[in-house]
């Protein structure tokens, strides 16, 4: 996975690009508010990602 930083309408963004997306056509991007939500809920997100 690759992480890149960008800006949209004056707001900072982070773009996460998965290994399966070699051409970076579909990055997962979000700003500071969503980043804070992700960090605050990391354990729940991790459990969800590990479910079968």
Radius of gyration of the chain (CA): 13
Give the pLDDT of residue 50.
Answer: 96
pTM score, two decimals?
Answer: 0.73
Look at 34 and 23; give whichever has higher pLDDT.
Answer: 34
Answer for the pair 2, 17: CB distance below 8 angstroms, yes or no: yes
Q: Distance of CA 43 to CAs 27, 35, 36, 46, 51, Å?
A: 22, 14, 13, 5, 13
Give the pLDDT of residue 21.
Answer: 80
Over the chain, what is the mean pLDDT? 91
Look at 24 and 25; give whichever has higher pLDDT.
Answer: 25
Percent residues over pLDDT 70 in the chain: 96
């Amino acid at each position: 996975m690759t992480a890149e930083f960008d800006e949209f309408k004056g707001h900072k963004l982070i773009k996460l690009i998965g290994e399966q997306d070699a051409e970076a056509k579909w990055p997962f991007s979000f700003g500071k508010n969503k980043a804070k939500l992700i960090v605050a809920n990391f354990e729940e997100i991790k459990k969800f990602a590990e479910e079968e």
